[in-house]
Structure 1
Amino acid sequence: MSYLFPTYARWNVTVKEAKGSWITDVNDTNYLDFVSGIAVCNLGHANEDVLNAVKEQLDKYWHVSNMFQQPIQEEVAQLLVENSDGEAVFFCNSGAEANEAAIKLARKHTGKTKIVTFQKSFHGRTFATMSATGQEKIHQGFGPLLETFMYLPYNEVDGLDELDDDVAAIMLEVVQGEGGVIPAEAAFIKKVAETCERIGALLIIDEVQTGIGRTGKPFAYQHYGISPDIITSAKGLGNGLPIGAMIGKAPLIETFQAGTHGSTFGGNPIAMASAKAVLSKIFAEQFLSEVVEKSEYLVSKLTEVIGNHSLVTAIRGKGLLIGIECKEETSTIINQLRDNKLLTISAGPNVIRLIPPLTVSNEEIDEAVSIIANTFASINSTIAQ
């Protein structure tokens, strides 16, 4: 019997400990982790720098509320601002909360209520962010959603010309993670930015999964030469501690004054200590260059061993967020990979998503690719029989 609501389809793996790119279960079986807590543990499990920073903060204080000045919040906010197009930061506890804050800010600042998002997007599971999500399966069973969201086809520019000045914001991921690891096309992103300018809407970029070095830049939007009004972040920001952040441009500051929004645990000093250690390491130019090199290495190896496999239709992504699209549902393949001691997850029904720690070594990449190759080879053998 479990005392938990069964809201997760849990694997038959019970974690005992984790370090770097590896998870060890209670049977002392080691798994190579290409999930990273779903793009959370970007510096790997139990990173020493993060651990030491958190221990140091634990010895000082854990929580005092946001009524107090807390210099560590300013330090983390400065790192985010200096590595983005924003000028101010609101801290919260998760990606959904960061997106919720972005939606509230956009509506309050513009005085408009309509927000445009895209089909197959994922922005969270609070009522507003669930409404923003362009996936019917996320909506089912919850009754009427917020009515002011409109979903357009992703990577298509035609519908953007029909938008007018009743739109408060356009909100999107530049790589749709849950929607299938689908990178945005440059022409599409350019058109979105131009549309926001034309109709006086804010541009919100959801970087919950793609931010904090995941694609080889501090934030994935920086591949596209745009300047968003609002950027949201979470997941990799705390390397496992709960934290979210909404980063906004200077003209938005006057809209979020005292009493307009808040979070009891947002900016918690323990999470801030973790985030400071994470950002100090990941935002270094050499670190980001290594992420790009590892990405190119991983994609080239995957292309070499399964690029021509009869089940594989595409290998795509940015940085160390890679999707292997297959001709059929991938749940069985993901289970086989797990049986073979490689942890992966899906991105939609027919895409295998690879999200290793950004600290993954080439040797670990080689091992993962070998497991993938052997697993796909065994699938071929099964088909042949």
Structure 2
Amino acid sequence: MRGGFHLSTLFQNYARRSIHLVKGSGTVVTDDKGQDYLDFTSGIAVVSLGHAHHALVKAVKQQSEKLWHVSNLFESPEQELVAEKLVRDTPFSHAFFCNSGAEANEAAIKLARKHTQKNVIITFEQSFHGRTFGAMSATGQAKVREGFGPLLETFRIIPYNDEEQLEAAIDGDVAAIMLEVIQGEGGVHQVDPGFAQKVTDICKSNGILLIVDEVQTGIGRTGTRYAYEQTALEPDIITLAKGLGGGFPIGAMLGSKELFHSFGPGSHGTTFGGNPLAVAVAQTVVDIVFKKKFLEEVEDKSNYLIEKIQTVLPQEQFAVRGAGLLLGIECDEDVLPFIQQAEKAGLLLVQAGVNVVRLLPPLTVTYEEIDQAVDILAAILLKEQIAHS
């Protein structure tokens, strides 16, 4: 202790909250003082099946007693099995496994540039693709990019959902367009249907690859396996992470068969990516989430949650947007105080930009838990609205 403050041995690159969570079950987490919270962050869209899901615990336990790690120099039938499930009934034919969303996006950037032998990738304002140098250069948020000196110069960042700006950005140097169906970190902004069709048309007519970043939206989060399936987008590459491991670190890139020969031996790699523990968990997650009934329940819960919010909150003050169980409530002011108040009341939330409360409950959240969470949030937001009226 010095001056009343604890000197941490950790770099302070996270604005950490003061509570210390020690266990969880489903949607409920508990801190070291025994206080329970409804977790509507899901580790930022990660614990898709809730905390300590019995099937995932079993998968980790069984695999941990067999094999933890083996180099990717050796064949992996387990990786093959998960890859087959991820690409089934999609435009994709091959998968690459890594450890995170940023790594998946780095792989996608490399593959697009290597395959096309072009350097420019078009991305969008308020996008978020990760914090490694390539992914950070692709990200359309100044706060993420500032302070690191010159970034990769071959990204053209243009306004999201702006067809004229998109057309103006196209030339013979463009290798790919890279976007999120819903900009989770950037404010829960969805791709417009017309813009999605425009992107697809431009990519087809110009021989440009389309990369869809599904790190936050994929694996059932929006009510379908992948969010692009609800749009006119026809990606050549998608990237996955977060919900794919249900809390265990894993990322993936899926690509079309035309790209196969551009990622040959030595073109890319990872020491830990697709290790046996991660793959065992991912296989279990996919087996559960990709069931038609499970995805229908996610959509039903989404509709219920949206209707509940719109019933208790004035829509002229609080706009709801998003899809599935990735929703945002736009407010007229900075939402950080609301999130702090919700935490004290037993509800964990996360921001999306300055003025949007993001709701990311586990896909297994119950209707009762939805009721409880909305009641807490409504009491806080309506109290603030009355105070300002």
Bin of the TM-score, shorter chain as denominator length: over 0.9
1:50 to 47, 50, 56: 56
The answer to whether residue 346 in structure 2 is matched with residue 370 in structure 1 is: no
**Aligned-residue CA RMSD (Å):** 1.0
After superposition, give the CA deviation of every residue in 1:34-85 in whole Å (9 maximum; x if it has no partner): 0000000000000111111111111111001111112111111111111532
For the pair 1:3 / 2:9, whether they are aligned, the reply is yes
Partners in 2 of 1:346 and 1:171 — Cα distance? 23
- Describe the SS at the equivalent of 2:219: coil
Q: Match for 1:189: what amino acid? A: A
> d(CA) in 2 for partners of 1:49 and 1:85?
29
Indicate yes or no: 2:233 matched with 1:239: no
TM-score, normalised by the number of residues in structure 2:
0.97
Name 1:300's counterpart in structure 2.
307
Q: 2:135 matched to which residue of 1?
A: 129
For the Cα contact (< 8 Å) 2:199–2:233, is it kept in 1? no
Could you list the runs of 4 or more consecutive aligned residues of structure 1 that deviate by over 2 angstroms after TM superposition? Answer: 307-310, 380-384
Cα drift, residue 230 of structure 1: 0.2
Q: In the alignment, what sits opposite 2:118?
A: 112
Which of 19, 28, 39 is residue 25 of structure 2 equivalent to? 19
Deviates more, 1:248-257 or 1:51-60: 51-60
Deviation at 1:377? 2.8
Where in structure 2 are the equivalents of 1:264-279 lying within 5 Å?
264-279=271-286
Q: Take 2:261 and 2:75, find their aligned partners in 1: how far apart are those partners?
A: 20
Deviations along 1:75-128, one digit per CA (max 9) or x if unpaired, are: 111111115321000000000000000000000000000000000000000000
Residue aligning to 2:233: 226
Cα separation, 1, equivalents of 2:64 and 2:331: 46
Partners of 1:289 and 1:319 lie apart in 2 by: 10
Residues in 2 aligned to 1:283 and 1:7: alpha-carbon distance in whole angstroms: 36
- Give distance in 2, aligned partners of 1:173 and 1:242: 21
Q: Which amino acid aligns with 1:247?
A: L
Unaligned runs of 5+ in 2: 1-6
* Structure 1 residues 50-89: aligned runs within 5 Å: 50-89=56-95
8 Å contact kept, 2:196–2:232:
no
Deviations 1:17-50 (A, max 9, x none): 0110011000100000000000000000001111
Checking the alignment, whether the CA contact within 8 Å between 1:84 and 1:219 is kept in structure 2 is no
What does residue 3 of structure 2 align with? Answer: none
SS in 2 for 1:32: strand
State whether residues 215 and 318 of structure 1, in contact with CA within 8 Å, keep that contact through their aligned partners in structure 2: yes
Give the Cα–Cα distance (whole angstroms) in 1 for the partners of residues 348 and 256 of structure 2.
38
TM-score normalised over the length of structure 1? 0.98
Q: How does 1:174-253 map to 2 (within 5 A)?
A: 174-253=181-260
Q: Is the 8 A contact 1:214 1:358 kept in 2?
A: yes
Instruction: Give, in angstroms, the shift of residue 164 of structure 1.
Output: 1.8
- State how far apart, in whole Å, the 2-side matches of 1:307 and 1:85 are: 42
Q: Pick closer, same or farther for the CA change 1:309–1:28 going to 2, 3 Å.
A: farther
The CA distance in 1 between the partners of 2:354 and 2:381, in whole Å, is: 17
The Cα shift of 1:284 comes to 0.3
Q: CA deviation at 1:268?
A: 0.6
Contact 1:99 1:129 in 2 (8 A): yes
2:350 matched to 1:340?
no
In the alignment, structure 1 segments of 5+ residues that lack a partner are: none
| Structure 1 position 140 matched with structure 2 position 146 | yes
Query: 2:315, 2:218 → 1: CA distance?
Result: 31
Q: Does 1:356 align with 2:334?
A: no
Query: SS of the residue aligned with 2:330?
Result: strand
Letter in 1 for 2:33: N
